[in-house]
């Protein structure tokens, strides 16, 4: 077998771009979505990834690209997971886009760390409103800050005029060309509210119009040819991730809450449960009157505070979940799911509603300030990494069995509660971090549990 053939079997090549910015709020998601839609309109397969723990942006990007969008995070997911997902995408995509989080050097690990590890050229998106030549100074500083990354160019967002563009382009260093200037047009920018309490599905038509407008603006800049003509990046599979996890959940059905109240679900979590043999049954605590037949239950995060009245009024569903709890079905409740499991929840209008009552305590919103951060959940089944992000608080809760361990701080993290076989916490778990622990959490049977223990050593 030739050396070229061997390389072809052990790697997949595809043009790839890491879309980064000097800070949050520069328009990364707007530009990434427009790029994806521009190439999709040409019949290209574009696979988009979002760095960091994020549920809302990936759904916007999935609508723009017409493809599933996964999260990549070196701490939460690990290098092997990120490597495998990129390799799988490269095998079927014409272009890979990775959208960064915050500024490109922010966080540990940062967007730049991920781009460096996988050899992804970075494109800087910068809101240039109120500056011209200073844009070039900032770009030059970003490009020269580390020697292990490559800045392939600048996309100047919110550019005011042709003259504005000329001033920026003339000042840029030769090594960082101006790839495009996106006009300052409210019709192009994604509405900020999608990052708050309104989800992509609720403004689908509005997003479609903005995707199309953004795609046309970037098409006029000739950006499609520039991206597709970039030197392809070689992605290799992670050897330790080559084999699928054992079918620890074969024969088990897991009911997963998904509706307007419970929507913070990583696609990677669903994929892993199915890879371990589980059958998933999606249901709505808001609109369905009964829990589907199941062996375990997952209540993920979301916005129950916006739908507390509807959840309270759906008494048949509440009764079914209470019976499942009494029958000792394994239940995982994360963040919004935790609030649903408490005795009551005070909504955004300061109205208090009865919840499931599986766990003592009361939930309430606490204004704009919230809690967030990467943490490891020290579960009895094994540690699982994840993150917290919430603007509510739970009071009157029982003594927790453990607390999350923060990524870079010694103070105790989020409380982890257990009642019967209910596990409830504000943490959002990333299941692929520890498949064996997740299998045990959802009730792998005795034979499977023994094999899991052997795998865990």
pLDDT computed for residue 6 by the predictor: 40
Q: What is the pLDDT of residues 83-117, one digit of tens each?
A: 999 999 999 999 999 999 999 999 889 999 999 99
d(C-alpha 455, C-alpha 451), whole Å: 6
pTM of the model: 0.89
User: Which of 184-188, 393-397, 437-441 holds the top average pLDDT?
Assistant: 437-441
Beta bridge partners of 379: 382
Decide: helix, strand or coil at residue 246: coil
Cα–Cα distance measured from residue 259 to residue 273, given in angstroms and rounded to the nearest whole number: 19
* 442 DSSP assignment: T
Q: In the predicted model, is pLDDT for residue 204 greater than 90?
A: no
Of the pLDDT bands very low, low, confident and very high (cuts 50, 70, 90), residue 1 is very low
Q: What are phi and psi of 395, to 5 degrees?
A: -125, 160
Q: How far apart are CA 50 and CA 58, in angstroms?
A: 6
- For residue 362, list its beta bridge partners: 344, 395
d(CA 437, CA 248): 11
Q: What is the mean pLDDT of the chain?
A: 90
DSSP lists the bridge partners of residue 233 as 14
Q: What are the strands of the beta sheet with 296-299, ordered from one edge?
A: 279-283, 253-257, 296-299, 331-334, 422-425, 412-419, 402-406, 371-379, 382-390, 428-429
Helices (H), 199-314: 204-219, 223-228, 267-275, 308-313
Q: In the structure, what pLDDT confidence band is assigned to residue 10 with cuts at 50, 70 and 90? A: confident
Say yes or no to pLDDT of 448 above 80. Answer: no
Catalytic residues: 335
Which one-letter DSSP state was computed for residue 259?
S
Helix ranges (DSSP H) in 119-190: 133-145, 162-171
- pLDDT grade for 368, boundaries at 50, 70 and 90: low
Q: Which pLDDT band holds residue 451 (cuts at 50, 70, 90)?
A: low
Q: What angle do CA 37, 39, 42 make, to 5 degrees?
A: 110
What is the pLDDT, as a whole number, of residue 187?
84
The distance between the two most distant Cα atoms of the chain, rounded to a whole number of Å, is 71
Residue among 296, 247, 236, 303 nearest 276 (CA): 247
Peptide bond into 109 cis (omega under 30): yes
For range 324-342, the mean pLDDT = 97
What gap in Å lies between CA 127 and CA 197, rounded to an integer?
24
Cα torsion for 159, 163, 169, 172, to the nearest 10°? -90
- pLDDT given for residue 241 in this prediction: 52
Phi (first) and psi of residue 256, to 5 degrees: -115, 120
357: phi > 0 → left, psi -120 to 50 → alpha, else beta; which? Answer: left
Q: CA-to-CA distance for 121 and 144, rounded, in angstroms?
A: 14
């Amino acid at each position: 077998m030739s050396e070229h053939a061997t390389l072809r079997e052990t790697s997949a090549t595809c043009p790839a771009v890491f879309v980064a910015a000097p800070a949050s709020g520069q328009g990364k998601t707007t530009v990434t979505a427009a790029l994806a839609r521009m190439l999709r309109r040409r019949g290209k397969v574009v696979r988009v990834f979002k760095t960091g723990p994020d549920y809302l942006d990936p759904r916007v990007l999935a609508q723009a690209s017409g493809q599933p969008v996964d999260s990549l995070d070196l701490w939460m997911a690990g290098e092997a997971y990120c490597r495998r997902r990129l390799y799988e995408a490269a095998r079927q995509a014409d272009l890979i886009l990775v959208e960064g989080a915050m500024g490109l050097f922010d966080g540990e690990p940062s967007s730049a760390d991920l781009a460096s590890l996988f050899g992804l050229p970075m494109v800087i998106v910068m809101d240039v409103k109120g500056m011209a030549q200073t844009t070039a100074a900032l770009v030059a500083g970003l490009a020269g800050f580390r020697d292990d990354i490559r800045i392939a160019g600048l996309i100047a967002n919110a550019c005011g005029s042709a003259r504005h563009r000329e001033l920026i382009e003339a000042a840029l260093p030769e090594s960082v060309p101006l790839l495009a200037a996106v006009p300052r047009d409210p019709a192009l920018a994604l509405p900020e509210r999608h990052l708050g309490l309104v989800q992509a599905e609720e403004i689908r038509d509005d997003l479609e119009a903005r995707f199309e407008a953004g795609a046309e603006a970037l098409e006029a800049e000739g950006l499609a040819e520039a991206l597709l003509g970039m030197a392809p990046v070689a992605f290799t599979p992670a050897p330790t991730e080559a084999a699928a996890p054992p079918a620890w959940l074969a024969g088990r059905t897991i009911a997963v809450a998904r509706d307007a109240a419970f929507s913070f679900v990583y696609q990677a979590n669903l994929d892993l449960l199915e890879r371990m043999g589980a059958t998933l049954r999606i249901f709505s605590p808001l609109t369905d009157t009964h829990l589907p037949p199941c062996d375990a239950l997952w209540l993920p995060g979301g916005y129950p505070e916006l739908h507390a009245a509807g959840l309270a009024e759906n008494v048949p569903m509440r009764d079914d979940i209470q019976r499942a709890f009494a029958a000792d079905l394994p239940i995982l409740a994360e963040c919004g799911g935790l609030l649903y499991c408490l005795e009551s929840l005070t909504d955004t209008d300061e109205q208090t509603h009865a919840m499931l009552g599986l766990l003592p305590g009361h939930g309430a919103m606490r204004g704009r300030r919230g809690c967030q951060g990467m943490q490891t959940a020290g579960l009895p089944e094994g540690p699982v990494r994840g993150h917290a992000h919430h603007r509510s608080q739970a009071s009157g809760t029982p003594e927790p069995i453990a607390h999350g361990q923060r990524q870079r701080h010694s103070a105790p993290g989020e409380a982890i509660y257990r009642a019967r076989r209910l596990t409830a916490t504000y943490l959002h778990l990333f299941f692929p971090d520890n498949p064996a622990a997740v299998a045990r959490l959802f009730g792998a049977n005795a034979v499977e549990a023994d094999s899991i223990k052997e795998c865990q050593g």
